[in-house]
Structure 1
Amino acid sequence: MTMARIMSDEHLGSSLPVDLTHLSRQTFGDHDLEREVLVLFERQSRTMLERLRNATNAKTWAEAAHTLKGSALGIGAFGVAQAAEAVECDQVDHLSSRAWDDLARLESAVAEANGFIATLLRAA
C-alpha cells in the first residue's frame, strides 16, 4: 500500500505537511525509496536546524537554510521549504530578532512535517 493511499482517506481535503503525490512522483512510485528519503529528510532536517541555531556567520546560516529548503522541496514538504527560504533570506542579518522569529517558524514547520513522516513510517 502506498503512503499516499494510507493517508488519503484520513486527510481528504486538508493540506498535508508532505505532498504525497509529489513524493511518489519524485521516487517513481518506489515505496522503499519513499521511506528512505523520508528517513533521510528527518535526519537532515534535525542536523540543519542545529546548524542554524549554532551559526556564527551568514554563510553557515544561508547554507543550512538552503540545504533544508532543497531537501524539503524534494519530498514535497512545501511549508518547510517556504519557511526555510524566509530563513535563507535573513542571512545578512542572521542575528536579528526577525531572523530568529523566522527560524522559530521553520522549526515549527519541520516539527509538523517530521511528526507527519513518523506517522507515515509507522503506518507503512
Structure 2
Amino acid sequence: MAYASQARVAGRTGPEAPIDLVQLATNTLGNRDLEVQVLHLFKSQSSSTLDRLMSESDTSVRLDLVHTLKGSARAIGAERVAVVCESLEQMMTAHPDAETGGLTAAVDEVNAYIRDLLES
C-alpha cells in the first residue's frame, strides 16, 4: 500500500474518504504491513458481524455486535461506520428490531474502499 495507491482510490482521500488514512497510520504506528493486516481483518470481521447481526434475535448479543464493530471501525479510522454504530446502539436500546440498513451501507462503502486500496 503505497502513497500513490491512496490517491488512486477513486480520488477519495482526505475528509470525504470512508477511512481516515492518517488515523489508520497513527493507530498502526506507521507500519504499512500492520495497516494491511488490520484492513484485511476489519473487512473480514465486519462482514461476518453484519451476517451475525442479521440472524441474531437476542438484543444484548446484537448490541454487543454493534458495539464491537464500532470499536473496530474507530481503530481503522472509519468514523462514519462508528457514528452509525453509535446511533444504532441508541436506537436498539429503545427498539430492539431497529433497521440496520444504514450500517450495512456504511460498512459496504468502507469495505469497497479497502478492496480498492489494497488492490492498488
TM-score for both structures, normalised by structure 1: 0.86
* Percent identical: 37
CA distance in structure 1 between the aligned counterparts of 2:79 and 2:108, rounded to whole angstroms? 13
C-alpha contact 1:69 1:81 (8 A) present in aligned 2: yes
Alpha-carbon spacing, 1:7–1:94, altered in 2? closer, same or farther (3 Å) = same
1:14, distance to aligned residue in structure 2 (A):
5.3
- 1:3-48: CA deviations, max 9, x gaps? 5x52247335550000000000000110000000000000110111
Decide which of 105, 113, 118 is 2:110's aligned counterpart. 113
Which moved further from structure 2: 75-84 or 7-16? Answer: 7-16
Which amino acid is the alignment partner of residue 110 of structure 2?
A
Which amino acid is the alignment partner of residue 114 of structure 1?
N
Aligned counterpart, 1:35: 36
C-alpha contact 2:14 2:20 (8 A) present in aligned 1: no
Q: Which runs of 5+ in 2 are unaligned?
A: none
Find out whether 1:94 has 2:96 as its counterpart: yes
Which amino acid is the alignment partner of residue 94 of structure 1?
P
Q: Which runs of 5+ in 1 are unaligned?
A: none
1:114, distance to aligned residue in structure 2 (A):
0.2
Aligned counterpart, 1:52: 53
TM-score for both structures, normalised by structure 2: 0.89
Alpha-carbon spacing, 1:31–1:57, altered in 2? closer, same or farther (3 Å) = same
